[in-house]
Every structure is written in structure tokens, then in C-alpha cells.
């Protein structure tokens, strides 16, 4: 049997970086499912997006770290085992992803493809006509390695998030979406600018330096 030594070296290097990553260790210490929780925390602290009583939709939610952070923001004085917030939830969190994740107290989870009409209808049913304060999207496609194909997939997810936000956000609401530098970046920034009054880019310190990811933050919908 032939062994791909290059692949083994890459996997070994990734595992070493992962287990020694201070953000991974901090996530484990504070009971978060992933280091990604700190990305949303940094974005929140920079733009003051979340407060109890809000309706928030978490797209691309698995494994649930962003929903965990939101859950704690909506019940800041109550903590359970491992630091997980429990008890009365002051607000609404609806999470959605293709992949399942372990339940989070008070968080409504929908499993499915956000690009399918039936899944969008299910999400709208859960909202029951309520406008959304903030949409957060950590959605990312499976990358093929073909630049043009990957750019199209990334742009499609951004377009889906913006379309949903345009139709469901409060006028002063916000959208946070992950984007990658590359062919999709400039078109997605332009789409954000055509949709929101204020558009900011933000690279959290907890995002790996070598990662091309950054986040677009759209604040306040433009009047149509």
C-alpha cells in the first residue's frame, strides 16, 4: 500500500498547530465547542451587535460555538457545567446548518441546506413574522481547489445570506458574514455596499494568521 507522506506531514502539522493553539485551549477551558466563538466575541466587542432580547439567526452554525456565545450573551449572569449558559433565555436564537450539532439549551436548530426553499420556509416558520436583529453567517463551501469554482461557491453563499437579511432584518439590523480573499471578495463587498448603509471589514485576532478569511459587517439596510 502506498502512503501519501506529504498528506501525513500536512495532517501532523495541522494537528500540532491545533493542539498548541492558544485559542483552542481557551475554548476548551471556557467550554466552547470551537475557537470560532472568540471570532464572534471580537466582532461583537468591536461593533456592539448583541444584547438580550434580540432575535438572531445563526447560519452555518455547526458545531455550535457561535450559538453558544450568543446564548451566553442572552443569559450573561447564569452559567452551567463547563460554562454553558442555562436557564431563562432572554432572546431568540435560531441556528441552521447542513450538519447536526448537539443541542444547546434554548437554541432552535434547523438541519438542512439554506439554499433550498423548503429549509428557508422552515426558518421563516420559526420566525413567525418576527423581524431579525442580527444575521450571522459562518457558512463556507467545500473548496475544490479550482479558483473560479470556489469563488462562485463563496459568492453564492454570501448572496443567500444577503438576500435573507434584506427580507428579514429590522431596518437598523446587521449582517455578519465570513468571506475569503480571492475572486469572490470584491463582488461580495460591492453587494454589501449596495445593501447596507455602513460596511466594515474585520479580521479577528483569533482567526489564524495564514487564513484568508475575514468578515464583512453590514449595518443598517438601505431604503429600497
Domain boundaries, the chain: 1-30, 34-221
pLDDT for 66 equals: 97
Which three three-digit cell numbers place residue 143?
Answer: 473548496
**Is residue 178 annotated as a catalytic residue, yes or no?**
yes
The architecture in CATH of the region 34-221 reads 3-Layer(aba) Sandwich (3.40)
**Using 50, 70 and 90 to split pLDDT, how confident is the model at 101?**
confident
In the chain, % helix, strand, coil (3-state, to 5) comes to: 40, 20, 35
Buried-state track 174-203, b at ≥16 Cβ within 10 A, e below 16: bbbbbbbeebbbeebeebbeebbeebbeee
Secondary structure (3-state) at 59: strand
Section 102-114 average pLDDT: 95
Residue 149, pLDDT > 90, answer: yes
Write down the pLDDT at residue 16.
43
Which amino acids are annotated as binding site for S-adenosyl-L-methionine, given as ranges? 64, 66, 97, 113, 138
Tell me if 52 sits within 8 A of 65, measured CB to CB: no
Q: What length does the chain have? A: 224
Q: pTM here?
A: 0.87
Q: Can you say which residues are annotated as belonging to the binding site?
A: 64, 66, 97, 113, 138
- Say if residue 156 is preceded by a cis peptide, omega within 30 of 0: no
pLDDT for 21 equals 83
Q: How many angstroms separate the CA atoms of 25 and 13, rounded?
A: 17
Q: Whole-angstrom Cα distance, residue 160 to residue 181?
A: 18
Inform me whether the pLDDT recorded for 8 exceeds 60.
no
Nearest to 111 by CA among 100, 127, 121: 100
pLDDT band at 113 (very low <50, low <70, confident <90, very high): very high
Q: What is the pLDDT of residue 44?
A: 98
- Check pLDDT > 50 for residue 7: no
The cell for 82 is 463547563
Cβ contacts of 76-83, under 8 Å, gap ≥ 24: 76/52, 80/105, 81/31, 82/31, 83/30, 83/31, 83/32
pLDDT at 192 over 90: yes
- Single out the catalytic residue among 2, 8, 77, 178: 178
13 pLDDT more than 70 = no
Amino acid at each position: 500500500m502506498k502512503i501519501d507522506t506529504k498528506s501525513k506531514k500536512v495532517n501532523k502539522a495541522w494537528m500540532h498547530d491545533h493542539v498548541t493553539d492558544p485559542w483552542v485551549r481557551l475554548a476548551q477551558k471556557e467550554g466552547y465547542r470551537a475557537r470560532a466563538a472568540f471570532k464572534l466575541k471580537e466582532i461583537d466587542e468591536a461593533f456592539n451587535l448583541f444584547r438580550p432580547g434580540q432575535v438572531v439567526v445563526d447560519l452555518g452554525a455547526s458545531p455550535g460555538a457561535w450559538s453558544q456565545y450568543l446564548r451566553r450573551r442572552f443569559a450573561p449572569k447564569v452559567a452551567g457545567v463547563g460554562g454553558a449558559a442555562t436557564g431563562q433565555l432572554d432572546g431568540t436564537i435560531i441556528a441552521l446548518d447542513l450538519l447536526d450539532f448537539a443541542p444547546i439549551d434554548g437554541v432552535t436548530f434547523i438541519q438542512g441546506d439554506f439554499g433550498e426553499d423548503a429549509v428557508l420556509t422552515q426558518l421563516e416558520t420559526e420566525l413567525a413574522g418576527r423581524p431579525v436583529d442580527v444575521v450571522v453567517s459562518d457558512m463556507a463551501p467545500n473548496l475544490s481547489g479550482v479558483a473560479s469554482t470556489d469563488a462562485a461557491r463563496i459568492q453564492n453563499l454570501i448572496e443567500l445570506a444577503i438576500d435573507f437579511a434584506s427580507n428579514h432584518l429590522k431596518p437598523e439590523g446587521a449582517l455578519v458574514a465570513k468571506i475569503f480573499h480571492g475572486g469572490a471578495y470584491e463582488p461580495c463587498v460591492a453587494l454589501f455596499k449596495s445593501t447596507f448603509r455602513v460596511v466594515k471589514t474585520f479580521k479577528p485576532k483569533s482567526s489564524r494568521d495564514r487564513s484568508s478569511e475575514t468578515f464583512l459587517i453590514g449595518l443598517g439596510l438601505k431604503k429600497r
